[in-house]
Structures are given as C-alpha cells and as structure tokens.
C-alpha cells in the first residue's frame, strides 16, 4: 500500500511537470522504456534495492543505462528518486505515470484472454466494439491461456465478460451441486 501511494505522488509530480513543459508524450515513452528495462533486469532491481550501495553510485549506473535514451527531465527525475531513497519504486512510478497518461488521453486497456491466438481482424472488431461502447481509445492486450479451454474472457475498467468454457463448466457444476434430484415417485 505504501509503495502505491508513494509511486502515485511521484508520478503525479512528473506528470504535471511534463504537462507544463509540453513534453508529455516524450516522458510517457521514457516511462515505458524505464519500466521495461527495470522489469527485464533482475540484477538492476537488486542493485536499486541494495541499501549498501551509495546513491551516487546508483545515479551513475542509471546515467550509464538511460543517458541519451530518455529526456533530460526524466533522467533528473530518476536522480531525485535516488536522492530521496525511492529508487526501488522506479518501476511503480513508471506504471503510475502511464496510468495517468492513459486517463488524461482517454485511453483504456482491455485484456482479451483466449485459449488460442486470435486473428487480427477479430481483434480489430473487438477493439471497434469496445471503442464504440466506451468512447475511448482502446489498447487491447491478448493473453493466451489454454486453461480456459475455449471461448474468451474480456475485461476492461470495471467490466468483465466471461464466455469461456471453463466458466460454463463451473456454472454447471454449481448448478448440479445445488439442484439435487429428489425422488418424487
């Protein structure tokens, strides 16, 4: 909980700065890059969380990784996080920033879970339907999960539509458990 609140505050601060400087898209791209790099490198995560390593050394490492790849504002922001002892939350801050960016630009993320990969034209039709319903731009993430057996699960915002075979089997099991046959003759 503490990490979420902390990440939200830092993300709001850099978001407002990006708006003020009119570099919102650039900073968002930086945050996507930072989040990706940090999540892909377990060594970097351990390094950032290492309490023995001095902030000066951590800043030098961050500079070596991100200099000339991100905006100067973003690099300075990473330095501020490090100076304040919050470098372990860099990925969380980047995620929160992306949420703020999506909300500001009326972009929602929808997740489509299927048992097999879905064709591009079907994905396009799903995106079109959600955009028509929500009047927002939709980023559709596809997840392949063989455990749902067939059908699909679609969720976005507070909406979830589960048309999977697994869900239907669970409903049938529940119905059979509660609808016991009583001999009437």
Q: What is the pTM of this model?
A: 0.80
Angle in degrees, CA 44, 10, 24, rounded to 5: 95
Q: What is the mean pLDDT of the chain?
A: 92
Look at residue 179 in the predicted model and tell me its pLDDT.
65
* Bridge partner residues of 143 (DSSP): 113
- Domain map (residue ranges) of the chain: 2-103, 110-178
pLDDT above 80 (res 129): yes
If residue 100 lies in a helix (H) or strand (E), which one and from where to where?
helix 90-104
72-97 per-position pLDDT tens digit: 999 999 999 999 999 999 999 999 99
Contact 150/134 with Cβ under 8 angstroms? no
* For residue 185, pLDDT beyond 80: no
- What is the CATH code for 2-103? 1.10.520.20
The confidence score (pLDDT) of residue 58 equals: 93
* pLDDT the model gives residue 172: 87
How far is the C-alpha of 71 from the C-alpha of 31, rounded, in Å? Answer: 10
């Amino acid at each position: 909980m503490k990490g979420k609140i902390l990440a939200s505050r830092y993300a709001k601060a850099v978001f407002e700065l990006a708006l003020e400087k009119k570099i919102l898209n650039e900073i968002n791209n930086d945050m996507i890059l930072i989040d990706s790099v940090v999540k892909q490198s377990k060594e970097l995560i351990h390094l950032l969380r290492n309490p023995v390593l001095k902030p000066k050394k951590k800043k030098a490492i961050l500079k070596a990784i991100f200099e000339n790849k991100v905006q100067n504002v973003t690099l300075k922001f990473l330095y501020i996080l490090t100076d304040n002892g919050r470098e372990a939350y860099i990925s969380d801050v980047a995620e929160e920033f992306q949420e703020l960016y999506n909300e500001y630009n009326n972009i929602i993320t929808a997740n489509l879970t299927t048992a097999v990969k879905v064709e591009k034209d079907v994905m396009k039709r799903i995106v079109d339907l959600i955009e028509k319903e929500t009047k927002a731009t939709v980023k559709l993430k596809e997840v392949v999960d063989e455990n749902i057996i067939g059908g699909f699960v679609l969720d976005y915002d507070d909406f979830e539509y589960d048309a999977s075979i697994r869900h239907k089997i669970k409903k049938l099991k529940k119905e059979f458990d509660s609808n016991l046959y009583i001999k009437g003759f």
